[in-house]
Amino acid sequence: MTNTSDADALTKSSSSEFERERVPDSALLGDSKFWGMYAGEHAAGTEFMIGPLFLAAGASLSDLILGLLLGNFLAVLTWRFLVVPIAMEKRLTLYYQLERIAGGSLVKFYNLVNGLLFCFLAGAMVTVSASAVGVPFGVVFDVPANMFGFSNWQFTSLVVIVGITIAVVAAGGYERVAHMANIAAPWMIAVFAVCGIVSLGQMQVTSLSAFSRGDFWSDAIAFVQEKNGPQTFSFWQIVVFAWLCNGAMHFGMADLSIFRFARNKSAGWAPAVGMFLGHYVAWISAALLLAALIKLTPELAIGADGKVSANPGVLAFQSLGWTGIICVVIAGWTTANPTIYRAGLAFQGIFPKSSRTAMTLVAGIVSTVAGAFPNLSAQLLGFVGTYGTVLGPMGAVIFVDFYLMKKFGLREEYAVHSHSRMNVAVMVAWLLPVAVGLYFILVQGLFAAYAVIPCWVVCAVMYLLLSKFIQKPNRF
């Protein structure tokens, strides 16, 4: 998942200069900037939440190790070969490209959806931070049975305090938080690795043979299944989740805004550092924290409802003490802050006359409300898949517009050439597959990440076909 770092500072400062124009050659950046940025961006608070969820969902250790390897590799390839070529050719932000293709009104609606999804992501981070802040005060993190149920009143109060604090800091200024995140990033990556090392030591898995036997893992899964009921999380679910949990960034082309500054195509390999430190080492380490907690103090792994729940604060505290608490708070805070900031900017795009401060506070309030429902953060595996399903298809529109429109005798960037504020072809091609995808996810119970690529492909085909019918050559 994402964290603030050089990229946000880079995107923010540069976007104000090149928001509606090509990035000039003088502003291009070398590869090292991108490597540093992605290293920090994917060592985020969400990793503490996602890692244990794999264990809680019943994934086997070998599936996790191999599945994450393959899925993260596919994610890196997608960034390199899908996003970077378009980003370097066009050198425009995602929003400006979309505006030229889809029209200003549709981009405003996209901004609203994007902003709301950002708020839910930030809400999960508020929950994560509150879980850590609560540990020294003995505040228990209960996950209610209902999706929209509150935890105990003490935890809910803590969420409100943490959420408001984060929102006020985000509204007050961005640079200080981005700077703090940059300083914390190398330390956080080290702490993530330490989580795994210490957890293995606590479980006395100190040899390769003990690790490969995997008894510590299968015992933990058996414990979870006994309390939570049987669940399975297959190899391919792990692969697809690791590949597409950042689907909005690569398939959805959000990182066009980052890679438009790339001087060389080789910068496209930079996400590898984020994937293999954040989405490999950190996820496995965080999962090991839960396995260690179950082995050593199983009573702490069980919530008030008698089920096993991943409480990031308790997990980190049991293995690393106060360093763990500091890491969870900083990781959650440095993720929530820029996410609320981005949501505020997205809302400001809808209401241009409003102040950024006011919109950031609105985003903070929505995030805090979302954070008060702990089940939303417990459903993070499903949420990030849904996030990619909803936003990913817009990347298909950009892909088709860039590679195929001219080949099929159609006008690319139709909205800007037809002076239209709403390209109906884009609207239908985006919303119809997404609606069907959401139906399968929310009603039929489809694993959310499975819907990302089908929705992307259907959107691409529909956009091409609808453009054939809708475009009027005499309008140019």
Partner 1 sequence: MSKFAKLASFASLGLVIIPSLLYFAGSLELDAMKWAILVGTACWFIAATLWMSH
Binding site for partner 1 (CB under 8 A): 179, 182-184, 186-187, 190-191, 193-194, 197-198, 200-202, 206, 320-323, 326
Comparing CB distances to partner 1, the nearer of 149 and 186 is 186
**Residue 23, helix vs strand vs coil:** coil
CB of 327 to partner 1, least distance (A): 8
Based on CB atoms, which residue is closest to partner 1, 197 or 435? 197
Least spacing, CB of residue 164 vs partner 1, in Å: 25
Q: Do 328 and 129 form a contact (C-beta atoms < 8 A)? A: yes
Pick between residue 97 and residue 199 the one whose CB is nearest to partner 1: 199
| Residue 391 to residue 387: CA distance in whole angstroms | 6
**Residue whose CB is less far from partner 1, 168 or 183:** 183
Q: How far is the CB of 324 from partner 1 (least distance, A)?
A: 9
Q: How far is the CB of 198 from partner 1 (least distance, A)?
A: 5
Which C-beta is closer to partner 1: that of 187 or that of 236? 187
Pair 244, 25: CB distance under 8 Å? no
CB-CB contact of 147 with 341 (8 Å): no
When the beta carbons of 182 and 339 are compared against partner 1, the nearer one is 182
At closest approach, how far in Å is the CB of 194 from partner 1? 4
Instruction: Report, in Å, the least distance between residue 319 CB and partner 1.
Output: 9
DSSP 178-192: HHHHHHHHHHHHHHH
Q: What is the Cα–Cα distance from 430 to 453, expressed in whole angstroms?
A: 13
Q: What is the CA radius of gyration of the chain?
A: 22
Task: Name which of 45 and 71 has its Cβ closer to partner 1.
Answer: 45
CA distance to 24, 162, 254, 280, per residue, from 251 (Å)? 25, 33, 8, 20
Give the span between the Cα atoms of 181 and 186, in whole angstroms. Answer: 9
Q: Are 295 and 214 contacting, i.e. CB atoms less than 8 angstroms apart?
A: no
d(CA 468, CA 414): 12
- Name beta bridge partners: 262: 29
Q: Whole-number minimum distance, CB 360 to partner 1, in Å?
A: 25
Q: How far apart (Å, rounded) are the C-alpha atoms in residues 110 and 59? A: 35
